[in-house]
Structure 1
Amino acid sequence: MKQAPILTVTLNPALDLSTGADKVEPDKKLRCDAPTVDPGGGGVNISRAIKVMGGDSIAFVALGGTTGRRMAELLEEGGIDWQQMRAPGETRQSLAVMDRDSGLQYRFVMPGPEWSSADVGKSIAHIIQAAQPGGLVVLSGSNPPGVPDDYAALLAAKLADGDAGLIVDTSGKALRAVADGGHNFALLRMDREEAEGLAGKHLPERTDTARFAAELVAAGAAKAVIVARGSDGNIIADSTGAWHAEAAKVEIVSKVGAGDSFLAGFTLGHARGLPIHDALGLAAAMASATCMTPATELCRREDVDRLFAARVVTAL
């Protein structure tokens, strides 16, 4: 199927380890299962999910040290098309542990290496070179220490002349640094709590969320804004209107990677020329399908196809 080029960006990747124990409790040696190991980080997971759905992307990944070399091996084994920038230190690791007694999952995430201003400039230069005209660049995941909060804005300014659209999924100070608008993003995504923090008020109803997203579009924050409302689904607004996609009712095994799979679905749908409401439906289907799989495994295509066929997307 024809699609526009996609470049995913992961500045702070992680080697994801997942395991399980009968019960997670302090001051004891916990006998765990043999770990599952996957390459992780926002953009990496997005590229993995796009591949599951038969799409194409290039993953731009900053890697360093022994862990970085292991990540590179896993990317190759997974058939991911990728480009590397040498990171200024050891690639981080993350650990997810399932407590079988309670059914709860514990997630431990390390910070990653410290970046200098020279590293920031080098990364932007690499991304500009790798981005293709008419394509999409997806910036997702946390910033490494030392990367400025307005990194997405800096990148958008450099991409402006190359006719590549920038999709941004960020949070905290980095979100606040770009939500004021004027950066010409193709899409800005956030969750309900982050949207309420920006709005300075609760957004209890779907119409409240849609109205706020539309206000961000009107202010020039992005051409489209998505707000994830958790179990209440997802809302998107652009200059033509707003839509809500229901979250499918599935058995939740693990939520790890669901947000990345969501963004992968929207990006792939958009790159394939789907109408915005159908791209939102594909995103919701891929997120729900990922919740059905264990640990750091992402969505399965047969689950996505079934959930997408049964999607419920409503104009607001």
Structure 2
Amino acid sequence: MRDTGANESHQSDGSDRVVSLGDIPLHSTNLLSLLDEDGVIRYQSPSIARLCGFEQEDLVDVPCTECFHPDDRDAVFSAFENVVSSDEFVVEAVEYRHLKADGTYLWVESVASSNPTSNGYYVINTRDISERKHHQKELERANERLQEFASIVSHDLRNPLAVAQGYLELAEGDAPTEHHTKISNALDRMATLIDSLLMNARGETRGVEIEPVDVSRLAETCWQNVVSKDATLHTDFDRPLHADPLHLTQLLENLFRNAIEHGCDDVAIALGALDDGFYVEDDGSGIPKAERDRIFEPGYTSSVSGTGLGLSIVQQVVDSHQWNIRITESSSGGARFEITDAEFAQ
């Protein structure tokens, strides 16, 4: 339920607050009801049959509270009383379960204003929101499954990760090599990703910790974590960027992987600075204009082996920094991602 509050331009002594019955679209696809000041139904439009299975006259002269689910009655009637008793123009909207002719209930949203008709009745506009409620419930269930999955995955990954780190320490001995260092960095990165996975699944946020970042150096580290085959990376970035290094790592790695997964084996990737941000582009096949509005959606992918999560993570990082991102075409016809509204360190 939400109260839009008083609108001073609509305040009056009541003489300009009435509306004519002829102004009410009684044949709307929504259910339109007229209630007196006591909440008794005085009229319902034919849509009551489609929405709830009642004949048009079945609920006339019935207190509206008898049509509400018992758990919703207090909240709904309180909203109606606010409309009736207000000396100012208000609009109330409330979601609740409405009785159906078969004894079940339908999720609806009703909207009413403090403008009565010339007969002193209040117009209630009711629409079916059951599909939205169903999707909301499915989303809640999916989030619960995601949290459970993430907990299991993080637990099952930590054990072999700890074993690998233990064997690495034994293998290093007193003379660690460059290969040992790369393995250690990769294991540390895995541990960080596991923590991030669990936090995201639980709806927790680590927060953005901004600091000057050497983007070229960070990009080199990211490139080592990407299976690049014959792909190449060219970096032209000589200014430190204000960013969260962990989040920026996720952004760059996912953009690099996206270019490799959707390009040829020897795809060439370039990272460079813009006046107010940076870009990542490649010489692959590009992204069709029709797909550009959807590719940041979680689960959307044009690759058989893709998960559809990489670019959604990119969007999350962009949003967390209050940057903007747009997709265009590189000079060679490939994909070009431009991240703007970023700030450079002095």
* TM bracket (short chain): under 0.3
**TM-score normalised according to structure 2 size:** 0.21
**TM-score normalised according to structure 1 size:** 0.22
Which structure ranks higher in relative contact order (CA pairs < 8 Å, sequence separation ≥ 6)?
A: 1
